[in-house]
Structure 1
Amino acid sequence: MNRKSISLIIGLMSVALLGVMAMQYYFIRQSYHLKTQLFDESVMAAINTVALKVEKDEALRFLNNKESRENKARENQENEARRSSQEEESTAYANRMRMKQAKLRSDFKALEQQVKRRYPGAVLLDNDFYETYMKDPVLRSHVKYEVTIQQAYDEAGRVFQQQEMGIYADRKASQIIKAKDDSVRYFIVDPIVGEFVISLPPRVDAKLEGEIRQLEQQAKVRMASVYMDSVKASGSKEGSALENLADEFERSKKSVMQRIDPKFMEEELRQELKDREIALAFNFNISNGKRDSIMFQFASNKAVPDVNEAYTTVLFPSDLSGERAVLSVFFPDKSSLLMGNMKVMLISSATLLLVLIACFTFTILSIIKQKKLSAMKSDFMNNMTHEFKTPVATIMIASESLKDSEISQDQSRVARLAGIIYDENIRLGNHIERVLNIARIEKGDLKLESEPIDINDLIGTVVDSMALQLQKNKVEIEFDLNTEPLIVLGDELHLSNVIFNLIDNSIKYTNHAPHIYIQTRSHGNHVNIILRDNGMGMNRDQLSKIFDQFYRIPTGNIHDVKGFGLGLSYVQDIIKRIGGTIKVKSEINKGAEFEITIPLYKP
């Protein structure tokens, strides 16, 4: 694989990796925005519900006070009537029930008017339609609404536009579910909050209605005329529009803090948020809509909230007059909640991305390593061909010379040529044996003998066998051997090859008269063998690669260094197999130092 192909693969994989990262970022960003939108909708629905409850609570407290006053007046009248006759007592009781019923209707009417004033487009929902379509998640998606604008004429003949909204389902349900209660429900479409349903209490209390009918029947028998007068009086009193208007003005004259119970608002906010699964600390305040006019403030978190992130709604929007009130809710830890909900997704995305990057890096490094290995193998094949070609050519020339009749009659020349053939055969055999040893190591077929060996004697034997090579290259060897025998367990042949390869490398990579220093020492339960030379040395990058197969240290313009790049790889493997280690230290032009540590044999 050439450099251009590798560059193309790296480029394509980089583009793919960047694309995956971009898609993950886009997906996480969209998920965050979606969760933020859902959070905002839930909070707005909660505070709008609380605003309605606050308004309802204020109305109920006002009506309760009014009822208590009216009840007190009625009690006085009833006591007086009770003293007059038993029939009048029965009539008073019926009157109370009637008043209670009228109050419930008035409450309902007030709530209904609030909804219609606040949401002019509210559509009354049939309870069967609500149970069948609105509560079913599948059929809910088929509920549609449309807004129509019609022209109408007022009493003066002027034209105005009237907006009406209708709701329907574009899919018929397989079964209509009957209503479970008689609550009144309105469908609302708000431009800020969205679509939601407001439930109001029943128009009338059925149990109370039945009781009143029973009392009315009894009263018809006993005191029909008195009963009719009391009904007319009570109906006239409760149905007066002017009195309702006066009540409204009376309430609006009060300050906001007199109309609101802050503790009730806090509890309702907490409950509504909890119902929507928002368990988050919040702050809220009540103001008149201006930043410097806060009338009440509640803080469950000491962090200073950002005003721009506040959720606001108007309290008592249907008031005809009076002080303006705005409820503002803040969530100081909003971001931490949203990110916490996405923790699993973020961790899984980061983990998958790291795995992808690791696989990408491993693949690229493997491709580069394979390319380097391929180049080193090509160099190895060239070197091996050269190393094998030289002895083969020498043997061929010597063999052809032996065929010459003149040479064959000269016994001294025949003996010299035979010696050349013998030496070259040995050289060729050594090359083949070296390659085969590496092949056996890679396959795991190399078997080592385990016998006691004296390292000092082994070094002496190897140096003696290399006497001619040392003499030819004018090598000076300095020995500093331990005075006592150093016995290790190992294979004599392969340990000899280890020492031979280290000395041979020192000779090859020394440009002037080689000086080799060999030292042996006993250190605890190990034997240390140090071999130091005065060769060309190695830099840091070369030191990290010299034990790799096929790697040969570049010698610049010098091309007389022979070898396959297998010697030091072989040395390291043999040392590891006998439980030892090998280290190397070197500097450019200052030689190299190899330190071998082998376990000491103690019988």
Structure 2
Amino acid sequence: MKKSTIWFLTIIMVFTFIGLIYVQFLYMNSMVRMRNDQFEENVRRALYEVTGALEQDEARHFLEENLAQVENFTPYKKRDNSEGVAMRFTTPSGLIGRFTLEGSPDQVLNMSKPGEGSAIDNATTSSLRGQYLYQKGLLDEVILNILSRSSSRPITERADSTLVRSYLRYELDNNGLNIPFEFAVTNRNHAIIYRTDGFPSVSSSQLVNNPEIYSQALFPNDQANRLNYLTVYFPTKRTYIFDSIKFMIPSMVFTLIMLLIFLYAIMTAFKQKKVNEMKTDFINNMTHELKTPISSISLAGQMLADPTVRKSDIMMKHVTDVINDDTKRLRFLVETVLQMSLYNERQSAMNITEVDANRAIEGINRTFKLKVEKYGGKISTSLAAENAMISVDEMHFTNVIFNLLDNAVKYRRKDSPIILKVSTSNPTPNKLKIQVSDTGIGIRREDQKKIFDRFFRVSTGNRHDVKGFGLGLAYVKKMVNDFHGEISVESEIGKGTTFTILLPVIKSNSNSDNN
């Protein structure tokens, strides 16, 4: 699949997922807003009902306290034919009084419908009419008394906390709000007069601005400077509101998971495409490398088989050297291909033995010295590790060091001879540190994270000025991991590179050779 096609599909799918998530978010936001509006409407309705009930209770209290008991109710008729009602009453406070109402009973109240009064005694009818007028007048007096005396009572008496709580619970339940609440009574400046234990201790401004606190005027007919407020706090309001969208959360989570899986699949596709490109580079380079020794060996064979070619000792030695060199080169190429097969196995087949790293590095140094000196360079060792005994496969361990040294030679600077240094030390009693340093061209910072990947080469493309296939450092990384160790790199362009290997030691070695 082309890279442009992958990018096109990626953009389409990303926008699709973003659109889906956005629509879900809008739906959830709309549901939360609707639930919040419904909650506020129910709370305000409940508070209105509570304050109304408290007003009715206060009115009932004053009526029971002020309505007098009628002891005598006597209608009379004067000589001028005018009628009236005389009443004797006693108030709950013990005062005795007399009340006289003059006027025609028909003018006071018509108690019967036309044609229906014949069965009612005139005296009784007059008595009822008079009693009605008396009660009406007395009620007006009581109402005036309520208005004049009620606002002077302490709010703690007018709105008892126990009564307020019971009314609140009843009205909230009636409005479908069966959730915990706390309340307080405040004055017109929002200073708290009394509150329940769970009501938050906040300032006046916080009471006004807190979205979880609602207020309603108590006894709104009081004078403005004596108004008090019932303030209710709902500690679980957020939970109540967001309960309405709980079923949407799994949908959102699954959508995000699908988006992450898709992005991971796209990243894997790009990575696989890059690996395929590097494999193509590897095949191209390997094909080129195989052609050269095969052609040389074929040409040498033809020379040996051609009877017309004079076969002198010098010529035979030259042809033999060519065949030997190209055979070694072919062997190296085959080993390189075999290294690639290691990545298809979970664990490489290794012969683990106890190896003295100092002695192994000394042997590698002697072998590699001629190659370094061939390019005018120099190699030195500093084997300072007192405990250099490690548990590794000696052949693979040797290949690891050889690969690092060989890379140093390949990527040397042309303007100055290469200087290599191999050192060992014990940073901790149970660790061996091996460092391979060079004065080569260095590695760019962005490439340092990729140099241990298969087929990756700092010199990309079909270049042949630096021989290699992008497998050497990947092989080194795998072997070090199989040895239960770690490898890291530090490099600076134009100054050189240092590879550091940390391996676990297996025992103290006081007889190690130190150079």
Q: Is TM-score (shorter-chain normalized) higher than 0.5?
A: yes
Give the residue type in structure 1 aligned to 2:418. P
1:277 aligned to 2:178? yes
**Contact 1:303–1:332 at 8 Å: present in 2 too?**
no
Change (3 A) 1:266 1:311: same
- Rounded to whole Å, the distance in 1 between the matches of 2:458 and 2:289 is 17
The amino acid that maps onto 1:39 is: F
Q: Distance in 2 between matches of 1:316 and 1:555?
A: 85
Q: Secondary structure at 1:254's aligned position in 2?
A: helix
Change (3 A) 1:283 1:477: same
Aligned to 2:69: 70
> Residue type matched to 1:258 in 2?
S
Distance (Å, rounded) in 1 between the aligned partners of 2:477 and 2:232: 66
Q: Does residue 262 of structure 1 match 2:154?
A: no
CA contact (8 A) 1:407 1:414 kept: no
**Residue 316 and residue 70 in structure 1: after superposition, are their counterparts in 2 closer, same or farther (change >3 A)?**
farther
The equivalent of 1:420 in structure 2 is 322
The Cα shift of 1:315 comes to: 6.2
What SS does structure 2 have at the residue aligned with 1:547? coil
In structure 1, the partner of 2:286 is: 384
Tell me which amino acid in the other structure corresponds to 1:254. I
Shift of 1:247: 1.5
The 2-side partners of 1:479 and 1:566 are apart by 26
2:419–2:438 contact (8 Å) kept in structure 1:
yes
Matches within 5 A, 1:57-136: 57-65=57-65, 69-70=68-69, 73=71
Pair 1:555–1:30, CA change in 2 (3 A): closer
Find the counterpart in structure 2 of residue 100 from structure 1.
Answer: none
Given the alignment of the two structures, is residue 508 of structure 1 paired with residue 410 of structure 2, yes or no? yes
Query: C-alpha separation between the residues in 1 aligned to 2:378 and 2:306?
Result: 42
Cα deviation for residue 445 of structure 1 reads 5.2
Q: Which residue of 2 aligns with 1:342?
A: 242
Quick check: 1:429 aligned with 2:321? no
> In 2, Cα distance between the equivalents of 1:491 and 1:530?
19
Map of 1:397 onto structure 2: 299
Report the Cα offset of residue 514 of structure 1: 1.8
Q: Which runs of 5+ in 1 are unaligned?
A: 78-226
Structure 2: how far apart are the matches of 1:574 and 1:515?
A: 26
CA contact (8 A) 2:430 2:505 kept: yes
Question: Using the alignment, how far apart are the partners of 1:568 and 1:384 within structure 2?
Answer: 17
Per-residue deviation, 1:550: 1.1
Q: Secondary structure at the match of 2:421?
A: strand
Equivalent residue, structure 2, for 1:189: none
User: Paired residue for 1:170?
Assistant: none
Contact map agreement 1:252 1:323 (CA 8 A) in 2: no
Q: Secondary structure at the match of 2:451?
A: coil
Judge conservation of contact 1:36–1:338 (CA < 8 Å) in 2. no
User: Unaligned stretches of 5+ in structure 2?
Assistant: 75-119, 509-515
Contact 2:439/2:496 (8 A) holds in 1: yes
State how far apart, in whole Å, the 2-side matches of 1:52 and 1:382 are: 92
Q: Which 10-residue stretch deviates more, 504-513 or 277-286?
A: 277-286
Q: 1:328 offset after TM fit, Å?
A: 5.6
Distance of 2:365 and 2:192 partners within structure 1: 99
Change (3 A) 1:306 1:520: closer
Residue of structure 2 in register with 1:542 after alignment: 447
Which residue of the partner structure matches residue 7 of structure 2?
A: 7
> Larger deviation: 258-267 or 508-517?
258-267
| 2:272 maps to 1:370 | yes
Give the alignment partner of residue 407 of structure 1, picking from 305, 309, 312: 309
Q: Distance in 1 between matches of 2:6 and 2:336?
A: 33
Partners of 1:535 and 1:273 in 2: CA distance: 85
1:314–1:477 distance in 2 versus 1, CA, 3 Å? closer
Q: Is the 8 A contact 2:285 2:462 kept in 1?
A: no
Question: Which of 342, 345, 348 pairs up with 1:446?
Answer: 348
Q: Residues 190-236 of structure 1: CA distance to partner in whole angstroms, max 9, x if unpaired?
A: xxxxxxxxxxxxxxxxxxxxxxxxxxxxxxxxxxxxx9999868755
Give, in whole Å, the separation in 1 of the partners of 2:441 and 2:460: 9
Q: How does 1:186-585 map to 2 (within 5 A)?
A: 235-236=128-129, 240=132, 243-244=135-136, 247-248=139-140, 250-252=142-144, 254-255=146-147, 258=150, 261-263=158-160, 266-272=164-170, 275=173, 276-283=177-184, 302-304=202-204, 305-306=207-208, 329-331=230-232, 337-338=237-238, 341-342=241-242, 345=246, 355=257, 358-359=260-261, 361-407=263-309, 409-444=311-346, 446-466=348-368, 469-482=371-384, 486-512=388-414, 513-522=417-426, 524-554=429-459, 559-585=464-490
CA displacement at 1:381 relative to structure 2: 2.2
Structure 2 counterpart of 1:456, one-letter code: N
* TM norm structure 1: 0.62
Report the AA paired with residue 488 of structure 1. I
| Structure 2 residue identity aligned to 1:561 | V
Structure-1 separation of matches of 2:169 and 2:181: 12
The Cα shift of 1:488 comes to: 2.7
Aligned-residue offset at 1:536: 0.4
CA contact (8 A) 2:390 2:504 kept: yes
What SS class does the counterpart of residue 545 from structure 1 fall into? coil
Q: In the TM superposition, what is the alpha-carbon distance from 1:399 to its structure 2 partner?
A: 2.7
Tell me how far apart the structure 2 counterparts of residues 485 and 263 of structure 1 sit (CA, whole Å): 86
Given that 1:542 and 1:553 are in contact with CA atoms closer than 8 Å, whether structure 2 keeps it comes out as yes
Deviation track 1:146-185 (CA, whole Å, cap 9, x = no partner) reads: xxxxxxxxxxxxxxxxxxxxxxxxxxxxxxxxxxxxxxxx
The Cα of 1:540 is off from its aligned counterpart by 2.1
Contact (CA 8 Å) 1:256, 1:323: kept in 2 or not? no
- Write the distance in 2 (CA, Å) between the matches of 1:440 and 1:12: 39
Paired residues, number: 440
Residues 17-73 of structure 1, C-alpha deviations (whole Å, 9 max, x = no match) = 322332233133222222222212322332333244234324433443356x327x3
CA distance in 2, matches of 1:494, 1:428: 20
Instruction: Report 1:139-150 matches (<5 A).
Output: none
Counterparts of 2:253 and 2:277 in 1: how far apart (Å)?
A: 36
Shift of 1:574: 1.1
* Cα 1:285/1:228, change in 2 over 3 Å: farther
Partner Cα separation in structure 2 for residue 409 and residue 594 of structure 1: 49
In structure 2, the residue matched to 1:599 is: 504
Kindly indicate whether the alpha-carbon contact (under 8 Å) linking 2:378 and 2:419 is maintained by their aligned counterparts in 1: yes
